[in-house]
Amino acid sequence: MSTPPTYYERHIFFCLNERTNGEDCCAHHGAKEAFDRCKAQVKAAGLAGPGQVRVNKAGCLDRCAAGPVAVVYPEAVWYSFVDQDDIDEIVESHLKNGQVVERLLTPAHLGR
């Protein structure tokens, strides 16, 4: 049996989890702004939609120590980003051209 075509070519999930109990979380480090930037850039590049790219919110992805984080499927590549330039590079390099942005990869050992 052959693999069915995927609905989206790439799907990126941003942790937008916000904690109000004093513990750290991605929302305290610009996750929402990064999500908004990614969504806008994907749309502006004409990449949004079926057969292309989908940008989604997620709850805690349980890698808080590396946050803020986002993960791209189907490659299951994790990114830790800092600013809008990082997001723009992920969009242009990975989401558009399939090239992983090595400098932003989440260290493999960092979890919660």
Residues that bind ligand FES (CB under 6 A): 15, 17, 25-26, 60-64, 67, 69
- In the bound complex, what is the minimum distance in angstroms from residue 35's beta carbon to ligand FES? 12
25/77 with CB nearer ligand FES: 25
Helix (H) or strand (E) holding 80: strand 77-80
- In the bound complex, what is the minimum distance in angstroms from residue 36's beta carbon to ligand FES? 16
Q: Could you tell me which of 20, 21, 28, 13 has the C-alpha nearest to residue 79? A: 13
64/87 with CB nearer ligand FES: 64
- Asked if residues 14 and 67 have their Cβ atoms less than 8 Å apart, the reply is no
- Asked if residues 30 and 80 have their Cβ atoms less than 8 Å apart, the reply is no
Grouping H, G, I as helix, E, B as strand and the rest as coil, residue 67 is: coil
30/47 with CB nearer ligand FES: 30
- In the bound complex, what is the minimum distance in angstroms from residue 73's beta carbon to ligand FES? 16
